[in-house]
Structure 1
Amino acid sequence: MKKDIIIPEVTGLQMAAVLEYNEVDDTNDWYVYLINNKEIDLEMVMIVSQGFSETKTTTVFRKKITKLPAHSYAKVEMIHPNVFALKNRFQVSFFEGNQIFEKTFTFNENTITEEALTMIPLLNKKGVSSS
């Protein structure tokens, strides 16, 4: 029965940690974005995130996005630099048409840094990408 389950490969999605100015607090803060580079809208997007190592774990965070249009992005969460020393995993599930898809994005330990910033085209901002 397991052999009958087809898990399609997910392409065209990207997670990015972006350093941007926070006008409210007058600080530069890190935010995580989900980027839909696909030609199709995504529906009922569920993102489950957690930081972890062999000795530490963070609280599980969940976010629902009802619809993420084609060639768009959504700000998922603020991410604190204290968790950059951990692996940060983002599990994304969504519907594309009537088919459910899932993809896991991982930022490895100490990979979210100002030195690693590159231009993220759809956002038109600098960030660290995971695809």
Structure 2
Amino acid sequence: MKKDIKIPKVEGVYIAIVKEYNDIYKTQDWNAYIINDKAVDLDMVLIVTSGYSQDKITSTFRKKLERLPKKSYAKIELMQEELFALNNTFKVTFFEGNNMFDKTYLFRKNTINLKALQTIPLMDAKGVLVK
């Protein structure tokens, strides 16, 4: 039965950790975003995030988006800098039409930093991107 289930490869959907200015608190914050660089909308987007190392595990965070329009992005969560010393995973599941897609994005420990910043697709921002 398991061999009959086919989950297509995810392309055009990314996770980015972006450093941006917070107007309310006048601080520089790190925020996680999901980016839909596809030409179609994504439905029922489920995101499960957690961090871990050999001796630490964070709480699990879940977020649901009913729809993520084509060529758009949405904020997932604020990221505390202490989490960057851990491996951070973002498990993303969504529907495109009648097909279900699933992918786990991994930010390895200490890879989220100012030296790793790059231009993020669709956003006028710099951050760390995992495809």
Which residue in 1 is equivalent to 2:107? 107
Aligned to 1:90: 90
Deviations 1:82-130 (A, max 9, x none): 0100000000011111111111101000000011101113112000000
Partner Cα distance (1:3, 1:62) in 2: 28
Query: Can you list the C-alpha shifts for 1:28-72, whole angstroms capped at 9, x where unaligned?
Result: 000000000111100010100000011001000000111000000
Q: Distance in 2 between matches of 1:18 and 1:90?
A: 15
Q: For structure 1, which runs of at least 5 residues remain unmatched after alignment?
A: none
CA distance in 2, matches of 1:40, 1:93: 15
Which residue does the alignment assign to 2:47?
A: 47
In structure 2, the residue matched to 1:60 is: 60
For residue 3 of structure 1, give the secondary structure of its aligned residue in structure 2: helix
Distance 1:81 1:19 in 2: 11
Listed one character per residue, the Cα deviations across residues 5-29 of structure 1 (whole Å, up to 9, x for unaligned) are 1121110111000000011111000
Matches within 5 A, 1:1-131: 1-131=1-131
Q: Retained in 1: the 8 A contact 2:47–2:63?
A: yes
Equivalents in 1 of 2:101, 2:121: separation in Å? Answer: 24
Distance 1:92 1:71 in 2: 17
- Matches of 1:45 and 1:89 in 2, distance apart? 16
Unpaired runs of 5+ in structure 2? none
- Could you tell me the TM-score, scaled by structure 1's length? 0.98
Partner letter of residue 86 of structure 1? L
Cα root mean square deviation, aligned: 0.7
Task: Give the C-alpha shift of residue 2 in structure 1.
Answer: 2.1
Distance 2:96 2:109 in 1: 31
